[in-house]
Structure 1
Amino acid sequence: MRSSTSVEQRIDERARRFLATAPAGGYKAKVTEFVVFGLKQGWACIFGATLLAVLMAARLWYPDTAALARNDFLTIAAVAIQVLMVLFKLETLRELRVIILFHIVGTVMELFKTDAGSWSYEAEGFLRIGAVPLFSGFMYAAVGSYMVRVYRLFDLRFAAYPRRWITALLGAAIYANFFTHHYIWDLRWVLLAAVVIIYGRCVMHFRVFRRQFRMPLVAAFLLVALFIWIAENIATWSGAWLYPSQVAGWHPVGLEKLVAWFLLMIISVVLVAWVYKPQPPEGENGRRREVPASSAVRQ
């Protein structure tokens, strides 16, 4: 496992002692791997899950007559969550740098998109830039937090990872298209095809407990985008922001937004790759080993 925080190291040591007697084969071993996978995913999502819980709680119980506007409360709560993540050593300062970068990238996009009418926030509170409350940037930071945490919790490694300068150009083109499609052609389908071509050969290797698994990286992008889409539905239901079609009455976010989140995942991966340089799977004599994408091996 890559360098973990001191808190995570203690949790990992205790978990391994607890699981030391777990069966090494059979269905019980598979159940153990599945449970550990779920727990690790939950731990990786701790920032986003906590922020989402605060959004839901504010929708259900925050008083309309409170002196502090709800958006300002959400901003203060998001800052508090981030500070506690660092103070309790749930995130490293190195990771905090890329999370801040996510925050900046997301806030710039929010300013443009709200001005273009793509979505809107309640016009309340003082902790905002124009029509964008400052807590909005933390929702992008939550994605960044998940990305950097899952990278080391599962000791991610990549076979046939594309050159980083190529992925950086692709990420820049995707980010630019989020702005330029309001004025010229929308190239999202061209960019989507480029993602499949550039990342199509890449296989992600990840360790859960005793076993190492493999998955095509493009499939991993799609799964994460799907979960972000689910979280977006919860966030819009809570009134954090609304799309124009939801102003008259809430309804689920359309599946077409999956494409946008899928492309946003590429920007996320590019940013994380500059903090954690993608490493190939460990093979004999330290060489990269080529394996079928659908197989799983015990180590």
Structure 2
Amino acid sequence: MKFYFMHLMPYADLDLSYDEKHNSAWVTLPNTYYDPKKAISSITATWTSSNMPTRLGFDGICVNEHHSNAYGLMPIPGVMAGALARRTKNVKIAILGRALPLLNNPLTVAEEFAMVDNITGGRLIAGMVRGIGAEYHSWGVNPAFSHERFQEAHDLILQAWTQAGPSVFEGKHYNFEYVNVWPRVYQDNPHPPIWIPSQGSTETIEWAAHPDRKYTYLQTFASVSTVARYMKMYKDVAAGYGYEATEDQARLVAAALCGGDRRDRPPGS
């Protein structure tokens, strides 16, 4: 069993009376509630908390991506991952994960992850997600194309990491005449490990468990019965493909530490 520490870096100085005027801390909460001078304490607390896992023997530290909210101040998790990379020596740095369908140019993720992988000397875990509904509102992206944009962006990133460049990529949503990412990934056998977090999606499980991928699927915090159902689903899908899933392929995100209170969650959560 392995343990990873996760910190969402919420805005700790949020005036909790915001809910008297606003129905959510996501998407529509005015950014005038954010005070950069006070936010320094939130960022400092993140560094302090993130040093703790290395002392306690955690296997890795996780960061993630959220937009337009007070719940998590890491819209570009690669920035935090890069900073953590210089403050740690042995633990894995897991970016859980970049919301690929939101991007007009997924090669930015290929480059960002490759840089972190080089800085850490191969300690990167590359997380890829479709993203929750609130993110699509923040970025003005049509969620109807979420699945196909995610899968096509994934294919583009994998091509950038595993094929000698420059190469050509032609898809429905993304087209590049020159796929030629510098720097190349440090972990090139064949690429950094890829984890797929999800709140529970049959399509995502079937895609992650496919023999061409066999990616680690992460079930986010849920009831015991829900976790058991999706873990079993992954193993059943793998068996249907003719192989036995390992423990490393199906994992649980038990909690996101320092994640704020209930009112900081998106509408409908």
Q: TM-score scaled to structure 1, two decimals?
A: 0.27
Q: Which has the higher contact order (CA 8 A, sep 6+)?
A: 1
Of Structure 1 and Structure 2, the greater strand share is in 2
Larger radius of gyration: 1
Structure with bigger helix share is 1
